[in-house]
Structure 1
Amino acid sequence: MTSVLHFQELEPEIVLLRMQDRVHKNTFSKELIDGLMDAFEAIQASHTYKVVILTGYDTYFASGGTREGLLAIHEGREKFTDKNIYSLALNCDIPVIAAMQGHGIGGGLIMGLFADFVILSRESVYTTNFMKYGFTPGMGATCILPRKLGISLTEELLINSGTYRGAELEKRGIPFPVLPRTEVLDHAIDLAREIAEKPRYSLILLKNHLVAPIRKELPAIIEQEVLMHEKTFHQPEVRERIHTLFGK
């Protein structure tokens, strides 16, 4: 699709999407955003694919907004809703597996959690660090985190910007496989092959049924997140924090 997103048909019914923006460490650069949106559009247009695997490269899964993107929101030039990548997996007709072999940071973690199946790495870091910069969460974080991880861990992640290794989350009892980094993708491929054994029509019908409540409630939650951004994102302190803390 683009140089930063590799689209591969592992098998006729299985697609592997590998995010590999090495220059920006898989932050949401324009190239990566466009690549993801084009890839999922192509997947939706197919009548063959049954399952998608979304993964990163080396030690990075996805790292959230770029410094320039965060500053653009601070200055009122953009909103995170301008290009909806956070719910690409949710809105995809067929099941999506997030093989999060590397760090999942901010919106990068949230994008992964919108997948139907999530696999984490023991060594990698997972955090929703919105409040670290002084602004309230976006990307649908306040919708998907409580559903996937429960309210207590969600409050730690969102209010306190908690940072956890996959091994720590495993001890907290999260409901996802947590494996050594080198095993994450292989596990995802095995799972994809099991899913691909099922009839495509039945997979689509069942996924649509299972995620319907999230699809229904998400727009109202996004609207509330945007309203909170309008109250929190434009503070002078936020700009200072973005400049001094980004990447640390």
Structure 2
Amino acid sequence: MQDDPVGYSNIRDCVVQITMQDREHKNTFSGRLITGLSEAFERVRADERCKAVVLTGYDSYFASGGTKESLLQIQDRKISFTDSNIYGLALDCPVPVISAMQGHGIGGGFAMGLFSDFVVLSQESVYTTNFMQYGFTPGMGATLVLPKKLGFSLGQEMLMSAKTYYGRDLKDRGVPFPVLRRAEVLPYAVELAENLAEKPRISLITLKDHLVSDLRAELPSYIEREVAMHDKTFHQPEVRDLIQSRYAGG
């Protein structure tokens, strides 16, 4: 359904496409988007035919991180980003996941995409872990996955500076992912998924389990430390002011 914030389709035999398409909220982590993503990955887990997943967004948006309302609720100590485990959905998925980031990846949205087994970026899109622009330290496992996937120096720079980078800038910095024109991102990801789907499912699951075992083992302790940093940084009055001002008119 067009109104569904998360689309689920079998685009090829054994290949599933999960599409984040919450146009109302520009793919920020609204309650409906979180629920839709969780349900979609549960369907993948239950589908014994599925061998690969392509995770993508719509138009110029991949995923945009927390909503204004959720950030203010965290600031008020009413919720935590750990209340839902969307950051770990791709990592915990038994079969390989390809993040086709055809659009902007912002904050937790970028971190979530990096937890996939394969990442494809768009030259024209922007990517940022902009937590520190709001005055609070990163969450969503970003402090683990950025240095791990991008290299320590670039990962640290993105986390601490909170700067915005175009995909073409990251390509120039040597990120180890394909960086393509936006229109080429999804077809490339689908072709990669089809290549994976030629392999036996049990072999794909077994190899993924082995390759991501260290990342899965490390993530809980990083999440615990990120929550502890939030206890120190998220509840400052200036953080609330920054959230309010940066979302003004948005």
| TM-score, normalised by the number of residues in structure 2 | 0.98
Name the residue aligned to 2:13. 12
What is the correspondence of 1:10-159 to structure 2 with a 5 Å cutoff?
10-159=11-160
Question: Following the alignment from structure 1 to structure 2, what is the Cα–Cα distance between the partners of residues 220 and 164?
Answer: 28
Unaligned 5+ residue runs, structure 2?
none
Structure 1 position 155, deviation (Å): 1.5
Deviations 1:82-116 (A, max 9, x none): 01100100000000000000000000000000000
Query: What letter is aligned with 1:207?
Result: K
Query: What letter is aligned with 1:47?
Result: E
Structure 1 position 190, deviation (Å): 0.5
Unaligned 5+ residue runs, structure 1?
none
Name the residue aligned to 1:186. 187
Question: Following the alignment from structure 1 to structure 2, what is the Cα–Cα distance between the partners of residues 246 and 210?
Answer: 39
Name the residue aligned to 2:173. 172
Query: What letter is aligned with 1:165?
Result: Y
Name the residue aligned to 1:243. 244
Question: Following the alignment from structure 2 to structure 1, what is the Cα–Cα distance between the partners of residues 201 and 133?
Answer: 42
- 3-state secondary structure, aligned to 1:158: helix
Stretches of 4+ aligned residues off by more than 2 angstroms: none
Question: Following the alignment from structure 2 to structure 1, what is the Cα–Cα distance between the partners of residues 199 and 45?
Answer: 18
Question: Following the alignment from structure 2 to structure 1, what is the Cα–Cα distance between the partners of residues 208 and 247?
Answer: 37
Question: Following the alignment from structure 1 to structure 2, what is the Cα–Cα distance between the partners of residues 169 and 227?
Answer: 30
Question: Following the alignment from structure 1 to structure 2, what is the Cα–Cα distance between the partners of residues 146 and 107?
Answer: 15
1:212 aligns with 2:232: no
| TM-score, normalised by the number of residues in structure 1 | 0.98
In the comparison of the two structures, how many residue pairs are matched? 248
Q: Percent identity?
A: 60
1:3 aligns with 2:4: yes
RMSD: 1.1
- 3-state secondary structure, aligned to 1:18: strand
Query: What letter is aligned with 2:26?
Result: K
- 3-state secondary structure, aligned to 1:9: strand
Structure 1 position 246, deviation (Å): 2.6
Query: What letter is aligned with 2:72?
Result: L
